[in-house]
Amino acid sequence: MRGIILRIFGILFLSFVSLSSQAETLKAKRFIGYLQKGNFCSTEFLKEFNGTIFSTLSKELYVLNCPVENENLEVKNPYVKFIYAKKLKKQGKTEEAKKLFKEIFSSTNRLDPEIITANAGDTKYLFTPEVLRKKVWIAIKDREFAEAEVYLSFLKTDPFYNYFKGIIQLKRGNYRKAKEYLESSNIPLRYFFLIYVSKEPAEKFFYFRKLLTENVPAYYKKAASVYLLDRFLVGEGGFYRKMLDSIKTLFPKVYRTYRIKYEVINYNYEKAINLIATPQNEKEKVWRETLKAKLGFKSDYSFLIGKKDFYALLLSKPKKVVKEGNVEISNPDIKYLLSNNYCPVISLLDLKSKDIPLALYKCGYYSAALKAAVKLKVKKPLQILYPKPKIFGDDFISLAIARQESLFNHLALSRSGAIGLMQIMPLTGRYLAKKLGDTDFFKEKLFIPEVNYRFGSFYIHSLLKKFKSFPLAAAAYNCGPGNLKKALKNYGKIKTKEDLIIFVDFYLPFKETRDYVKKVSRNLYFYSNLYGTGQEWKSFLKP
């Protein structure tokens, strides 16, 4: 959050660009002029850029540099909001300041020392049970368990105390203690987590039935249903059928999908085909035709012609990727900023112009460009959606993985602790370090793009050599080689494309992995077509 301040003040020292009468109407040029002069405190500055792509940035500069008099300014950046609150407090606008302090304190743990110091002697209003619960949950999601315990210590008499203690232990991998705390809690959602920490199928099913009776969001009930159905699909037929009976009316679509899966996993292909005689979506069409092929009947995949999803890549002729020529930026303000290398300014603009993703891409801010393109629904040029950072060279395999793992953000840190471009877990990093002869490994090195790419590339390519197929290697990258081996043992040898479809959709044990395999396979197709010969992806999609 403070990085924004450093970038803003870095702009102040950019080389002077004289204002010409022809470009006087450009908001961008006038904005840069304000930056160079440091003149942010006039009401004209705020008014001139209100409602433009510079609106948020101008307000932040105003708050950071000027004696704020208008308490109705809306700022989003937590650090800027903190500065705003401090200034309001100094002006004697105590209630307005407290409101902002509480908003920040409730939404992030990153500014806690500053907020507590700014409210020294008057922090009681911050430490309410409602706010503290949010603080604990934020810390848990960030895997800052020691911090979560500190805030939880203020909630010892709160109904959520044992509930949060249980979740912390779960996240730490101590399932026995997690279960003890969760069982002693009265929070209805405890059953959702008890399903995960319980070992025995009967116990998992017991807590699931309890969860269904509680007034909790349907999302949790559905997520638990999918988790248990995947868990019981192989080897727990009795509980699987009970699960299906439990959700038949509650989640009919989930019921239908897993009813079909049950027949397939038990080799009742004809029954499965009858269940999807009238497919409800494209996936069911694929299943029907794939199962027909397994029975020796003629299949019709014509409905996939021209598409580019996982099924079309395997079973049909995918639509050709059209490489766009040089796409120009039309917005004169963004064009001006880019041509004068004001990339830090572009990265801070409001997302009000569809030229911003392209400008960010040309600046080399690939992660920001990709996110902006998705948010603004910008699909051209395709290079924005499938960027190729230099560090990857022509390693299309690693590009396909990294795009899905981190959107090319080398500082990415997942909730599970995966790090960097290719989201490598510290334990895996240590294993790869030994393989690659890195005797000075420590987990923070995974934030270094060159290190992360070298480790991740070695790992995915070694999995590819081991499993002989990109979709299988990608599955192993996501859920672990051990889980993939178990799934392969249950299915048997994959000989045909139909085998691969059935294996991915019916035998991979996690929904996340099933979705992951399809997404990275599609990524590989686009990288091959955009930057290669358009043929590289084919060999890796063959079983």
Q: Crossing angle of helices 161-171/129-141, nearest 10°? A: 10
Catalytic sites, residue numbers: 405
Is residue 4 scored above 80 in pLDDT? no
CB 207, CB 198: distance < 8 Å: yes
> Rounded CA gap, 172 and 139, in Å?
13
Compute the CA torsion angle 144, 146, 152, 154 (nearest 10 deg). -130
> Rounded CA gap, 397 and 472, in Å?
13
> Rounded CA gap, 455 and 441, in Å?
11
Are 155-286 and 390-541 equal in CATH topology?
no
Amino acid at 318: P
CB 254, CB 232: distance < 8 Å: no
Neighbouring CB atoms inside 10 A of 25's CB total: 9
What single DSSP character describes residue 392?
G
Residue listed under structure tokens 């930026």: 329
CB 197, CB 179: distance < 8 Å: yes
Is residue 106 scored above 80 in pLDDT? yes
pLDDT, tens digit, 9 for 90 and up, residues 127-175? 999 999 999 999 998 889 999 999 999 999 999 999 999 999 999 989 9
Buried b (16+ CB within 10 A) or exposed e, 222-243: eebbbbbbbbbbbebeebbebb
- Which of 31-35, 203-207, 440-444 tops mean pLDDT? 203-207
> Rounded CA gap, 351 and 533, in Å?
35
The mean pLDDT value for 397-424 works out to: 90
Strand partners, 424: 419
Helix (H, G, I), strand (E, B) or coil at 424: strand
> Rounded CA gap, 391 and 159, in Å?
51
Whether domain 390-541 has CATH 3.40.50.300: the reply is no
pLDDT computed for residue 17 by the predictor: 38
Residue listed under structure tokens 């998992």: 204
pLDDT, tens digit, 9 for 90 and up, residues 251-285? 999 999 999 999 999 999 999 999 999 999 999 99
pLDDT computed for residue 518 by the predictor: 95
One DSSP character per residue, 196-253 reads HH--SHHHHHHHHHHHHHS---HHHHHHHHHHHHHHHTTT-HHHHHHHHHHHTTTSHH
Is residue 2 scored above 70 in pLDDT? no
Is residue 70 scored above 70 in pLDDT? no
pLDDT computed for residue 443 by the predictor: 87
- Note the Cα 55 to chain centre separation in Å: 27
> Rounded CA gap, 416 and 461, in Å?
23
Which CATH number is 155-286 given? 1.25.40
pLDDT, tens digit, 9 for 90 and up, residues 301-346? 999 988 889 999 999 888 778 777 778 888 999 999 999 999 999 9
pLDDT, tens digit, 9 for 90 and up, residues 379-389? 888 999 999 99
Cis peptide before 381 (omega within 30 of 0): yes
User: Please, which residues have CB within 8 angstroms of residue 214's CB and are 6 or more apart in sequence?
Assistant: 188, 189, 191
Strand partners, 141: none
Average pLDDT, the chain: 88
* 182: its two tokens: 């969760």
- Note the Cα 325 to chain centre separation in Å: 30
User: Please, which residues have CB within 8 angstroms of residue 90's CB and are 6 or more apart in sequence?
Assistant: none
Residue listed under structure tokens 């043992």: 489
Q: Give φ, ψ of 108 to 5 degrees.
A: -150, 150
> Rounded CA gap, 31 and 51, in Å?
14
CA angle 211, 215, 216 (to 5 degrees): 70
The mean pLDDT value for 113-126 works out to: 92
Neighbouring CB atoms inside 10 A of 154's CB total: 16
pLDDT computed for residue 16 by the predictor: 36
Of the candidates 264, 309, 262, the one whose C-alpha atom is nearest the C-alpha of residue 288 is 264
> Rounded CA gap, 418 and 237, in Å?
34
So where are the chain's domains?
3-118, 155-286, 390-541
Which pTM was predicted? 0.84
Amino acid at 174: N
- Note the Cα 184 to chain centre separation in Å: 33
> Rounded CA gap, 91 and 474, in Å?
57
Is residue 193 scored above 90 in pLDDT? yes
CB 40, CB 61: distance < 8 Å: yes
* 98: its two tokens: 């407290």
Confidence of residue 534 (pLDDT cuts 50, 70, 90): confident
